[in-house]
Amino acid sequence: MNLAVTAPDRLVVRTVPVTDPGDLIAALPHPAALAWIRHGEGIVGWGEAARLHPTAGPHRFTDAAARLRDLFASATIDDPLHLPGTGPVAFGAFTFDPASPGSVLTVPRRILGRRDGHAWLTTIGDPDDPDAPARPMTAPTGLTWHQGALPAHTWQQRVATAVQRIRDGRLGKVVLARDITATADAPIDARVLLHRLAARYPDCYTFAVDGLVGATPELLVRRRGDRVDSLVLAGTTARGTGPADDAARAAALTTSPKDLHEHSYAADMVRDALAPLCADLHVPDRPELLTLANVMHLASALHGRLDSDRSVLDVVAALHPTPAVGGAPTPTALDLIAELEGMDRGRYAGPTGWIDARGDGEWGIALRCADIDGPRARLFAGCGIVADSVPADELAEAHNKFRPMREALHGPPHN
């Protein structure tokens, strides 16, 4: 692993309580934003005290966890709060494919947080060193849209191929993703996208890490001490045109053999991955309905207690990739993804989140997101394909899953 540290060899970290900062996103001084926010609570960061680029490969999560432990263990830390997210924190985003480059962990110079009635500011390095000058937020303009790796009709053909492989008995489920791109007149300000996503999708985890920006509904794992939580989402329908249509769609989703079958693959895998790590584990008998602004999902919330001292990244290593973003059985599904998708997902559908010096943290799956590179945004959407999948329906679902990031780039209709 390459470890690039832009601060002195020994990090000097100081966390202090502060008065309620209000809108955390508004506190970000420039577009190079780091964020993890839900219902207005969480952490944001800016500047760079340290940066790690995990080496591609099957051990990247545990290697990253070990390097971070060494970095934080050598730091001088003054943290009177001792809360999840206080002290030094690394924001991270890993690629979906372990062989792909691009995974990153960033320890910011400033971290502002709010949770459970507490607010704090963490400074890493010399507190008297000036930050980069603040820059006003600027909304994207002049957007032009381009097809991604595969045009729609070709992607539908690939879905049909996947369905046939499943019906032939080669696998039970595969997740196929699409991408589209947008280009603006000027570099895209991640803070604008964060504001719009957090306002419209408060139940999701709104995140930004090294240009990857999104609002994911899927919590891969939360670790606080020995307690771990995971939220499995699989099985989706679009929101209706009103309450009656919503109720009909919800009833259809919760009784759909296709969607229940898809969901069971994902929930069973997460259960099987967490069980060896946990002294006890609660798994619901049936999924519940999670209703968001644009879609409804089948959701299962799992809770457990770790049987030994493992960091949140150690648990991420056991869980990724789940059938919700890969398929089942996993090796066969990943081979089919490589054959049919026609693209490298990059960090889409990979784990993204944060970890502190205690090993606590929250990591989601990078869904409903875009990779921002200057004026260019690459958007992603994926669909779980099973034996009953209809290619045209899956294309419509993918289109609906693009909607959060398209809205974030365009802004509300009155803009």
The answer as to whether 403 is a domain residue is yes
Can you tell me the mean pLDDT for 384-403?
Answer: 94
The answer as to whether 134 is a domain residue is no
The answer as to whether 132 is a domain residue is no
Which range has the worst mean pLDDT, 191-195, 253-257, 272-276, 409-413?
Answer: 409-413
Can you tell me the mean pLDDT for 338-347?
Answer: 97
Q: Is the pLDDT of residue 415 over 60?
A: no
- What are the tens digits of pLDDT across the range 123-151? 998 777 777 788 999 999 999 999 999 99
Q: Dihedrals φ, ψ of 169, to 5°?
A: 90, 10
Can you tell me the mean pLDDT for 157-163?
Answer: 98
What is the reported pLDDT for 6? 44
Q: Is the pLDDT of residue 57 over 70?
A: yes
Cα distance between residue 310 and residue 315, in whole Å: 7
What is the reported pLDDT for 294? 85
What is the reported pLDDT for 55? 86
Provide the domain limits for residue 221.
2-127+145-410
Is residue 98 helix, strand or coil? coil
The answer as to whether 334 is a domain residue is yes
The answer as to whether 137 is a domain residue is no
108 burial (CB, 10 Å; 0-12 / 13-18 / 19+) is buried
How is residue 169 written in tokens? 């008995």
Give Cβ neighbours of residue 115 (< 8 Å, ≥ 6 apart). 41, 42, 83, 84, 85
Q: What is the CATH number of the domain that holds 315?
A: 3.60.120.10
What is the reported pLDDT for 261? 84
Give the CA count within 13 Å in the CB-facing half-sphere of 101. Answer: 3
The answer as to whether 73 is a domain residue is yes
Indicate which residues carry an active-site annotation.
Answer: 173, 218
What is the reported pLDDT for 2? 45
Which range has the worst mean pLDDT, 123-132, 217-226, 240-249, 351-360?
Answer: 123-132
Work out how many domains the chain is built from and give that number: 1
The answer as to whether 195 is a domain residue is yes
- What are the tens digits of pLDDT across the range 349-373? 999 999 999 999 999 999 999 999 9
Q: Is the pLDDT of residue 391 over 80?
A: yes
Can you tell me the mean pLDDT for 161-174?
Answer: 96
Share of the chain above pLDDT 90, in %: 84
The answer as to whether 367 is a domain residue is yes
What is the reported pLDDT for 185? 97
Q: Is the pLDDT of residue 348 over 80?
A: yes
